[in-house]
Amino acid sequence: MASAPSGVFDKIASEVSGVYEKSVPAVVRIRAMDGQEQLSGTGFFVDKQGTILTAYAVVGQAKEATVDAGGRTFAARILGRDPRSGVALLKIKASETPFLLLGDSAGLRPASAVVSVAFPYDLKAEPTFGLVAGFDVKYLTRFFATTHIRVNLPIKPGQIGGPVLDSQGKVVGILMLEIDEGKACYALPVEAAAKVAADIEKFGGPKHGWMGVGVMPDRSRPERGAPVFVDRLYKGTPAEKSGLKAGDEVISIGGRPVREPSDVLDSAFFANVGEKVPVKVRRNGKEETFTITVAARPDSSRIVEPAPLFPDSQGSSSPQGIPVRGN
């Protein structure tokens, strides 16, 4: 009779195995043709009616896709996609599909343990264990639409779009971008993906908010928690019409504390078009509150293409940082 696991590695393996076995029935392989390019990736069911959440890079601008789930292949309808956030939403005709519950990425910290379940190449779905490394809005020369989770989690072609899970098997992020030659990755927080998915289901496409305020931190205090000041107000934007002024110290937006510039970016991302958002600032030593009526983000600012980040030594484009596309 085998003895029960006792070492730390045995315990980790047991926990990862439990998350994998619980979640793998709801994880699917997706294939699509974007022009002449064959795309392949991973997705997962988010309800029992066959709705699938995945990454934009998995379907690109394809008109249709197929989904392998439960030993069967289904034609999938692409409900909507958003190149800016990197989210796509699909649906197959099936009932009582297994699905994953959405968790809370706000509870993640550096060194939080996570597990991904996704399809590498043409192989079966596999579990991968990793640790959260940090939270960024920028990687090299690429800016994200909102804060992303940087994870020391190796990924392979075909795994983009897969879920990142906590110890309870709940989704805390979606695999979006491989970095460091596949040795690590970025994941979009599940709250951001859910916001875009809700827009797609309600409006048929994403509704990105726009405030039009530029901010900068107090560079004499580089630590998180240093004051963040209004740097500029873009002409004709909601922020310019709100009464804010350059030099105002931003305390909170919509009740969310502002401790660094990325907090302002996140507040705009999660704001709904038409929503009136209170902005609390400190001006001349006194706290004041102004209201920004969120507008739709201009078309010219909507899409952030996943372009190569830097040239290699021969001067050609390096593929590092481009979403993984399987053969």
Q: Which of 205, 203, 215, 315 is nearest to 265 (CA)?
A: 215
Q: Mean of the pLDDT values across residues 94-111?
A: 94
Summary count for the chain: helices (H), strands (E)? 5, 20
Give domain 105-203's CATH number out of 3.65.10.10, 2.40.10.10, 2.30.29.30, 1.10.10.10.
Answer: 2.40.10.10
> Among 11-15, 91-95, 194-198, 220-224, where is mean pLDDT lowest?
220-224
- Say if CB 280 and CB 251 are below 8 A apart: yes
Q: Mean of the pLDDT values across residues 183-195?
A: 96
pTM for the predicted model, two decimal places: 0.84
> Among 82-86, 159-163, 180-184, 235-239, where is mean pLDDT lowest?
235-239
Q: Mean of the pLDDT values across residues 163-178?
A: 96
Give the CATH number of domain 209-301: 2.30.42.10
Annotation: CATH topology of 8-92: Thrombin, subunit H (2.40.10)
The residue ranges of every structural domain in the chain are 8-92, 105-203, 209-301
Element (H, E) at 195: helix 190-203
